[in-house]
Every structure is written in C-alpha cells, then in structure tokens.
Structure 1
C-alpha cells in the first residue's frame, strides 16, 4: 500500500501559536489542511484567504484549501494568489460547472481536489474523476469538528481505491473526519492514503505539539503496522 501521509487541520490548532506550531509541522506534515466555510454551504465560518496568505509565508508544505462554500468560483483566484497548493471544492457545488472549475483551478497554478460529503455517491463524480489530483472523502457531515465517524464511508473509500486501481486514476485518497486511533486501522485497510488530523487525531492528544505528534505516530503505527 502507498505510504500514509498526514495533513493537520489548522482550524483545530492553537492559532495564537501559529508560527511556532507551523515551524514544527514543516518537518513532519505532508500537507496543511485549511477549512474555508462561508456560513451558507455549512453553518460555520472558519478560515479565509487572508489566513492562507499569512500561512504561505511560513509553510514549507502544500496548503490544501477545503472549500465548504456555496460558490467556490469566488475563491479560486484569491486563494491561488494567497499561496494555495491545492484547491478542493465540494462535489455538491460543482454540478453545473465541474469542468469549468477544474480548468480554473489548474489555470491558477493549483492542483485540483474534490471533496465528497457522506451522502454523495462517487458516481456523481464519474465524468471527471480522471482529472482530480486528490479525492477527499468526508467521514462526517461537513461543517463542524468533533463529529462521530460515519462507518458507511469505509465502503466509499474502498470503492475509490478500486476505481483508482482499475482505471489508472492518479488521485490521492484523503479522509476528512474522525481520523484517530479508533479509526486508523479500518481507514488504512480500506485504502485511505492521506489522513486529516484534527483535535482527536493530533491537537487534543497533548498540550505540547511535538509530544502530540509522537503520540499520533505511535497510535497510527500500532493500529496499522506502518
């Protein structure tokens, strides 16, 4: 299986310690996960293109912007200029503009991600899956941290892995929601490659981020053997 990769969810970090924590994570993480919510597609409002601009000055790993917004087209240019490496809109917002959005993200110099809410079937993405660099499968409903794991998503992850192998797709399979010691084994076995780490998977494990990272790695290795 592919090497596991880790993407800390920065809305769960101590933002007062942003510079210090990013300096540590630059040597550990594979991506930075930045949730951008508009208060419409989901009820919450979180980070912004201005946050991405500040982060890009100190980040040494790609910044992945997860757009939980109704109109993702309004964010592509500003996020690309701010330093985003990946722009990941939701499939539910792309119904009538998927190819246009994919083209706009690529033209802006970013890689293309697509996120899928739990109730959305992968078949909805079938016509453009071959164009996607990263497929983010949500294992909780979008909008808030700390929700319970939706076990039915294990089958969706396995299907994404099977389609990738059978059709030669190149996307990374990423999981967003409840990635922690209780789910690592099943997620990895199903085919997950990139694990988004929030409060339960990283930031809530210890007040010291280096200690929390060591605990996460030990938990992951203990559950998956890798």
Structure 2
C-alpha cells in the first residue's frame, strides 16, 4: 500500500451524533471498522450486522466487520448476505473452519481477514495465510476500548511485512487497539497499512468530530513526522 489508511472503530463513536460524525468522516477516512461481539467470545455485546445497513444509508465507504464471536459461521452467513466488503474472523475460534469460511467469503466476491489476539503467534495462521486479504494484529486484549497498549505485539506487524515481501503475499496489515498520540510513533515504526482509531485516538478527543479529527491529524503528524493525506 502506498499510504497509511485510517479506519474508525464505530463502536466508540457518539451514537447521538451518528449521522453528523459519519457524514464528516466520509471525506476523511478509508473504511469503517464494525466490531461485532456476541457476549461469549468477549463479555461485551456491541454492534451487529444491522449497523452496517444503517451506515450504508449515508456512506459508500467499505465496511470491515471484526467478529469477536464463538460461532463465526453464523455471522459470516449474515455478512456475506449483506455483501460486507471485509469479513475478519479471530484465528482462535477457526479450528476446522478456516478454509471453508475463507472460501465462502471469497466465493461471494468479498475479502477475508484474520485477527490475532496479543498472545496468538502468527504461525497459527500459516496453513492458510496465502489466502488472506487482511491480517489484523490486536495491540490490546479484545472486547474493551481504552486498554493498555501492548508494545510487543508490534513485532508481529514487522514479521508479517517481512513475510509478505519474501513470499509475495497480498494481505494488508491492520493494527487494532489504543492507536493514539502516545503510540503513533511506535506503531509507525512497525509499519502497518491500516490504523484503527477509536475513543482515545479520535472520538474522545473533543465533543465536535471536526475538532477531534484535527487533533488526531496533528497528533499523528507530530509523532511520526509524516503528513496525513
């Protein structure tokens, strides 16, 4: 990828200002990150596939669904029916299902992603890594916003970049968790293609989304020395 992309995590937005925030961000960001939690894989219950339809009423940007669920097949069926552009599943729950679900997503003309928890090594996905369109590295434990940034997870981003170059793989690399002024410099050094930004990096910076974006943009540019296009 030629430029860093930003994908806001919509579970951390101000739902009272849903239309206002999405309308503004449509011209600023590259995609939207939709967290779907079932209350089992992680304790929280957040967004669901219906939310994608609501966003699509006012946005044409790609949607990326992050499935924090114990039964990915159930949710993949729904998201394929909705033509969700990216469907990302946790490697930790895919034993015996990975190839089938990846094929199902691809057969529908959609993109398949895998998410790795902080303690999950990248070797876990080696059997099917060449099939993946995206790999998301969790830099916090999944399920809750605002947790401590786990710096050691950045080593996986570096390793995935090196592996992609060596093997000619096509996946993009995404990071998810505590992406903000305190961590931008370290994340930039690791070199992911996509930053997911949530409450600490975007939505919680100001009551107005316009001001929040300007703060985030300045934070990124100050800490990395790179212009956010």
- Please indicate the TM-score interval, normalised by the length of the shorter structure: over 0.9
Count of aligned pairs: 226
- 1:74 matches 2:78: no
1:143-154 → structure 2 map (5 Å cutoff): 143-154=143-154
Shift of 1:2: 3.7
Residue in structure 2 matched with residue 41 of structure 1 by the alignment: 41
> 1:46-103: CA deviations, max 9, x gaps?
0001111211222221000000001111012212333411000101111211110101
Gaps of 5+ in 1: none
C-alpha separation between the residues in 2 aligned to 1:95 and 1:158? Answer: 25
1:1-20 → structure 2 map (5 Å cutoff): 2-20=2-20
1:139-218 → structure 2 map (5 Å cutoff): 139-218=139-218
C-alpha separation between the residues in 2 aligned to 1:210 and 1:169? Answer: 37
C-alpha separation between the residues in 1 aligned to 2:61 and 2:163? Answer: 28
Q: Which consecutive aligned stretches of 4+ in structure 1 deviate over 2 angstroms post-superposition?
A: 80-83
Q: Secondary structure of the residue that 2:73 maps to in structure 1?
A: helix
- 1:30 matches 2:64: no
Most deviating of 72-81 and 9-18: 72-81
TM-score, L = length of structure 1:
0.96
C-alpha separation between the residues in 2 aligned to 1:80 and 1:55? Answer: 17
> 1:26-48: CA deviations, max 9, x gaps?
10111100000000111100000
Check conservation: 1:56, 1:82, Cα contact below 8 A.
no
TM-score, L = length of structure 2:
0.95
Residue in structure 2 matched with residue 98 of structure 1 by the alignment: 98
C-alpha separation between the residues in 2 aligned to 1:31 and 1:163? Answer: 25
